[in-house]
């Protein structure tokens, strides 16, 4: 059984709502054990020991991640650097506005995951006619619109699929096998 950790920071609850949706998507694969934790309640040693896949979420603050998220990786996770390579990672962020820096924040989160040796991915899938999560799932404030909510779920589902295919080594869980001939909605 693969283990997925959804880890988030959230000051006013918007990124937390995204985290719940990412977890909901990850649970679409019954073979996965999924946990959701705020950064203040997260235990770095447990994450390092247990998680096969990590979805990392932060509000967009001044165009990048929150200082609490950065501090967690600087201080709590740093001792595990060079010993947790090969986990699978992805990211999500809530911002105050479209164009407010949410994708840059996802890229910054992805950069941290890469620095720790994680295998980081984005989605090719479109969850609506003009909506995707190529660099991570993004929302403006709370995830209200159905395509935004589904992009969060899809990110979690894909994380479970990659953990299933590459860590649990079940080829049937590869997304191209689970969903052959998938097409962009509306095309
Ligand atoms: C210190 C601070 C900096 C922020 N910087 C940005 C920003 O650069 N771009 C933006 O779109 N929103 C910005 N926001 C708004 C938050 O990203 C937005 O309200 C988000 O939905 C909050 O998520 P949360 O409820 O998970 O904390 C900022 C908010 C705070 C408190």
Q: What is the pLDDT along the chain (187 residues), one digit of tens a residue?
A: 999 999 999 999 999 999 999 999 999 999 999 999 999 999 999 999 999 999 999 999 999 999 999 999 999 999 999 999 999 999 999 999 999 999 999 999 999 999 999 999 999 988 888 889 999 999 999 999 999 999 999 999 999 999 999 999 999 999 999 988 876 555 5
Closest CA to 187 of 133, 141, 132: 132
Which 3 state secondary structure label does DSSP give 187? Answer: coil
What is the number of the ligand 1 atom nearest to the C-alpha of 62? 8
Residue-level pLDDT at 104: 98
Interatomic CA distance for residues 60 and 47, integer angstroms? 23
**Contact 161/26 with Cβ under 8 angstroms?**
no
* Residues near ligand 1 (Cβ within 6 A): 10-15, 59-63, 94-97, 100-101, 141
Residue-level pLDDT at 91: 98
CA angle, residues 110, 126, 152, in degrees to nearest 5: 50
Q: Could you identify the residue written with the tokens 């001939």? A: 181
**Contact 21/153 with Cβ under 8 angstroms?**
yes
What is the number of the ligand 1 atom nearest to the C-alpha of 139? 21
As a CATH number, domain 2-178 is 3.40.50.360
Domain boundaries, the chain: 2-178
Distance, CA 174 to ligand 1 centroid (Å)? 35
Longest dimension (CA), the chain: 47
Residue-level pLDDT at 183: 65
Which helix (H) or strand (E) element contains residue 88? Answer: strand 88-95
Residue-level pLDDT at 180: 84
């Amino acid at each position: 059984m693969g283990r997925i950790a959804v880890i988030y920071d959230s000051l006013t609850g918007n990124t937390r709502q995204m985290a719940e949706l990412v977890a909901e998507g990850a649970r679409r694969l019954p073979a996965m054990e999924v946990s959701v934790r705020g950064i203040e309640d997260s235990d770095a040693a447990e994450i390092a020991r247990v998680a096969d896949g990590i979805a990392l979420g932060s509000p967009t603050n001044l165009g990048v991640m929150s200082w609490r998220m950065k501090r967690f990786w600087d201080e709590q996770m740093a001792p595990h650097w060079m010993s947790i390579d090969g986990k699978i990672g992805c990211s999500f962020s809530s911002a105050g506005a479209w164009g407010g820096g949410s994708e840059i924040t996802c890229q910054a989160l992805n950069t941290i995951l890469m620095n720790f040796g994680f295998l980081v991915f984005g989605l090719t899938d479109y969850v609506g006619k003009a909506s995707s999560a190529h660099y991570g799932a993004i929302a403006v404030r709370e995830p209200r619109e159905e395509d935004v909510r589904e992009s969060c779920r899809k990110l979690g589902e894909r994380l479970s699929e990659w953990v299933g295919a590459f860590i649990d080594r079940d080829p049937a869980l590869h997304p191209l096998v689970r969903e052959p001939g998938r097409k962009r909605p509306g095309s």
